[in-house]
A and B are shown apart, each in its own frame.
Chain A
Amino acid sequence: MLAARLVRLVATILVVSFVTFMMVNLLPGDPINALVPPEAQNNQEFVEQLREEFGLNDPMMVRYANWLGDAVTGDLGKSVITSQPVAGEIWRRLPITAELALVAIGFSLFIAIPLGTLSAYKQGKRVDQSISAAAQVSLSIPNFVLGLLLIYVFAMRLQWLPATGWTRLTESVSGNIKSVILPALSLALAEVAVYTRVVRSDMISTLQEDYILSARAKGLKDRFILFRHALRPSSLTLITVVGLNVGALIGGTVVIETLFAIPGLGKRLLDAVFQRDFLMIQGITVFVAVVYVTINTLVDIIYMLVDPRIRKKV
């Protein structure tokens, strides 16, 4: 069964990489313009030589096959601007974006699970209504606006945290923590709103179950019943939504990394787009797509860990 999943994963990655390759190549504008300095644009011979060197004259399928052949060995080509290997660039920046995304997910779950649970427990009461209203508001704030607001309050006014920049974990742990808090919070808020609603609605239906009544009849404390009996059966939708939201989160990092001047994958991708660094765009996009597909396969596996009944069927 696991083998079938892996086959499906590989097939998905192939399709995704092909579509990405197509899209990058179908972007308007000849990538050669980015490669050739303006003063040499008229030198036909030089331009032709460069085209040949980057394989731009081959048909698209051949270029895809070549690129894929290299990509499988871990070679994603070189940046046409800086000549750095694309794969190396990804590995260098991945830890930053990954940390940012994970901390953002962590923050959002840490806030959303208790809020959603409380909301369901107090269904229809004032607390529930306030939480729903707050979620509605936070959903309608774009993350970069929130980011600016957080910078204004915590970096400029209170001066607790740095406004921009990134300290790597290997340089300073406390510096790293300080630099991740604000951008991760900016990313997390919209997710908090979604996750709170998801947990609330699943939790409300779980609380109707007979086994919750029998847990009550055992004299267990409400909090224990909520978190040790009701939470797990109420988390299946949450897991799906978190998995699906990873894509939105990575999209979010592009904006937030730019706002906070964080040298992550998102910022690098944006720079590459401005520079028409097509191999870099392609490399990063495919990498992100692969991560996304892999995470959603993992979600299926987490499902099985959460619900023993699914474990049986698989």
Chain B
Amino acid sequence: MNASVTVNSAEASANTNGASLLQVSDLHTSFSVQAGEVKAVRGVSFSLDQGKTLGVVGESGSGKTVLARSIMRLNLGDNVNTSGSAVFEGKELLASTMSEMQTLWGNEVAMVFQDPMTSLNPLVKVGRQVTEHVRHHLGASKAEAKALAIDLLKEVRIPEPESRLNAYPHELSGGMRQRICIAIALACEPTLLFADEPTTALDVTVQHQILNLLNREQQERHMAMILITHDLGVVAGRTDEIMVMYAGNVVEQAPTAALFADMQHPYTEALLRSIPRTTQRSHTRLAAIAGRPPDLIDPPSGCAFSPRCPYVQPKCREETPPLQATDNSGHKSACWFPVGTPENKEAFEKNLAARLPQTMSVAEGAMVNTEMLQEKAATQEERN
């Protein structure tokens, strides 16, 4: 947790400039369960400016959703403990009462959920669901609400909006339902939008449309957006900044272009490697990340990724690497042996010699890749 301390001081100075819309510092969230304390978010800090987009990336269980819900104060139950700070428009959210939160929810801060099949009430007509909170927050009349609903449905590209208002959710397709959810989130013109894996439950063909829709709305409305996903490909062209989370910690954080230009954390690298590519030969083995996400009740000592890391060294298992700025572009990462450094290469070769399983599988994948490239080059030559 050295990580958050360092970041905190850096961010504290940013805060005095008063520029950020949302300022999160050293946020911790845990759930008390029978077996102990599940530490889902372990000291996350970031800031987000008006009109900017932040991508939060990580596999299931890395704490992305809990982070979003902690900031929004939507984690329910008596067993949730949240500490740290989340300041939105100068207001400390973690110290706000529930009724204060209710005036923000859906109004200033909105959320698009993962599964549009279950996040709409099946027994309530679409029209009411799109505008009930508009009527509640802004006191719009029935007629105004209806006109707004039609506008919103048009905006999210739903054909025949007038008749859709009287439809029930089950009469619409998954993509349509997610468009409805987006319309709901946009209805009160929020300044901050959380999109929690908005396309995970949808067909691949629809995913793009939904992401583009979100992007367009975000830009047109100059709204800040936090896009949560497990897919680096999703955030690549659509965010200003990316935060990679692992086991409740931020392991790498950088402006989007900088991250893809110079990936530093082995976990980020592994995430990118696990995206299948059409350029790969068919029957190429899927590059999964070896092992499983760690137990959050009793996380591993040192770097949480160390049990799965192909570059792991004894130091990694003992000392937690802090999230540190590595250059002055705002690129930060938490690794003792960052990818692309000579130390990293050395560590990899050491592990390869020791035949460490996770290192071996990475090496195999690399071999396949080089093989493929060589093959490609060969066919090219033949053609010539």
Q: Is the CB of A312 within 8 A of B170?
A: yes
The digit string for A213-244, where 1 denotes a CB below 8 A from any CB of B, is: 11111111100100011001100000000000
Residue B122 at the A interface, CB < 8 A? Answer: yes
Query: Which chain A positions have C-beta within 8 A of B121?
Result: 211, 215, 229, 233
Residue A210 at the B interface, CB < 8 A? Answer: yes
Which residues 170-223 of A sit at the B interface, judged by CB distance below 8 A? Answer: 209-211, 213-221
Residue B12 at the A interface, CB < 8 A? Answer: no
Q: Is the CB of A220 within 8 A of B106?
A: yes
Query: Which chain B positions have C-beta within 8 A of A38?
Result: none
Residue A29 at the B interface, CB < 8 A? Answer: no
Nearest residue, chain B, Cβ from A125: B78
Other-chain contact of A217, B105, B118, B132, B136 (Cβ < 8 Å): B105
Q: Pick from B47-55, B107-115, B249-257 the stretch touching chain A.
A: B107-115
Residue A271 at the B interface, CB < 8 A? Answer: no
Query: Which chain B positions have C-beta within 8 A of A213?
Result: 74, 76, 113, 119
Q: Is the CB of B122 within 8 A of A309?
A: yes
Interface size class of A (residues with CB under 8 A): 20 to 34
Residue A307 at the B interface, CB < 8 A? Answer: yes
Which of A211, A224, A306 is packed against the most chain B CB atoms within 10 Å?
Answer: A211
Residues A211 and B72 in contact in the complex (CB < 8 Å), given A219-B105, A220-B106, A221-B136: no
Query: Which chain A positions have C-beta within 8 A of B150?
Result: none
Query: Which chain B positions have C-beta within 8 A of A228?
Result: 124, 132
How distant is A286 from chain B, measured CB to nearest CB, in Å? 38
Residue B120 at the A interface, CB < 8 A? Answer: yes
Residue A308 at the B interface, CB < 8 A? Answer: yes
Query: Which chain B positions have C-beta within 8 A of A308?
Result: 122-123, 168, 170
Q: Is the CB of B123 within 8 A of A306?
A: yes
How distant is A134 from chain B, measured CB to nearest CB, in Å? 24
Q: Is the CB of A214 within 8 A of B105?
A: no
Residues A214 and B113 in contact in the complex (CB < 8 Å), given A219-B107, A308-B168: yes
Query: Which chain B positions have C-beta within 8 A of A306?
Result: 123
How far, in angstroms, from A233 to B123 measured CA to CA in the complex? 7
Q: Is the CB of A210 within 8 A of B115?
A: yes
Interface size class of B (residues with CB under 8 A): 20 to 34
How distant is A214 from chain B, measured CB to nearest CB, in Å? 4
Query: Which chain A positions have C-beta within 8 A of B122?
Result: 211, 233, 307-309
Query: Which chain B positions have C-beta within 8 A of A210?
Result: 113, 115, 118-119
How distant is A5 from chain B, measured CB to nearest CB, in Å? 23
How far, in angstroms, from A220 to B121 measured CA to CA in the complex? 14
Query: Which chain A positions have C-beta within 8 A of B184?
Result: 214, 218
Nearest residue, chain B, Cβ from A215: B121
Q: Is the CB of A218 within 8 A of B106?
A: yes
Q: Is the CB of A309 within 8 A of B168?
A: yes
Please count the residue pairs between chain A and chain B whose beta carbons lie under 8 angstroms apart in the complex.
76
How distant is B214 from chain A, measured CB to nearest CB, in Å? 16
Which of A215, A306, A309, A312 is packed against the most chain B CB atoms within 10 Å?
Answer: A215
Q: Is the CB of B170 within 8 A of A309?
A: yes
Query: Which chain A positions have C-beta within 8 A of B316?
Result: none
Q: Is the CB of A218 within 8 A of B119?
A: no
Which of B106, B110, B120, B170 is packed against the most chain A CB atoms within 10 Å?
Answer: B106
Q: Is the CB of A219 within 8 A of B113?
A: no
Query: Which chain A positions have C-beta within 8 A of B110?
Result: 217-218
Residue B284 at the A interface, CB < 8 A? Answer: no
Other-chain contact of B74, A209, A211, A217, A312 (Cβ < 8 Å): A217
How far, in angstroms, from A210 to B117 measured CA to CA in the complex? 9
The digit string for B67-98, where 1 denotes a CB below 8 A from any CB of A, is: 00000101010000000000000000000000
How far, in angstroms, from A233 to B118 measured CA to CA in the complex? 13
Q: Is the CB of B105 within 8 A of A216?
A: yes
How far, in angstroms, from A308 to B122 measured CA to CA in the complex? 8
Nearest residue, chain A, Cβ from B184: A218
Q: Is the CB of B136 within 8 A of A219?
A: yes
How far, in angstroms, from A224 to B129 measured CA to CA in the complex? 13
Other-chain contact of A224, B115, B118, B136 (Cβ < 8 Å): B136
How far, in angstroms, from A233 to B169 measured CA to CA in the complex? 14
How far, in angstroms, from A233 to B124 measured CA to CA in the complex? 10
Q: Is the CB of A211 within 8 A of B136?
A: no
The digit string for A289-314, where 1 denotes a CB below 8 A from any CB of B, is: 00000000000000000111100100
Nearest residue, chain A, Cβ from B99: A221
Q: Is the CB of B123 within 8 A of A220?
A: no
Residue B102 at the A interface, CB < 8 A? Answer: yes
Residue B181 at the A interface, CB < 8 A? Answer: yes
Q: Is the CB of A211 within 8 A of B107?
A: no
Query: Which chain B positions have C-beta within 8 A of A218?
Result: 105-106, 110, 132-133, 136, 184
Q: Is the CB of A220 within 8 A of B136?
A: yes
Query: Which chain A positions have C-beta within 8 A of B132?
Result: 218, 220, 224, 228
Residue B273 at the A interface, CB < 8 A? Answer: no
Query: Which chain A positions have C-beta within 8 A of B119?
Result: 210-211, 213-214
* CB-defined A-B contacts under 8 Å, sample of 9: A211-B119, A211-B120, A213-B119, A214-B113, A217-B72, A217-B113, A218-B133, A219-B137, A307-B122
Interface residues of B (CB under 8 A from A): 72, 74, 76, 101-107, 110-111, 113, 115, 118-124, 132-133, 136-137, 168, 170, 181, 184
In the A-B complex, the 9 residue pairs with the smallest Cβ-Cβ separation, listed nearest first, are A219-B105, A218-B106, A219-B106, A218-B133, A210-B118, A211-B121, A214-B119, A308-B168, A210-B119
Q: List 14 additional contacts besides A210-B118, A211-B119; criterion CB under 8 Å.
A: A213-B76, A213-B119, A214-B111, A215-B121, A216-B105, A218-B110, A219-B102, A221-B102, A224-B132, A232-B123, A307-B123, A308-B122, A308-B168, A309-B170
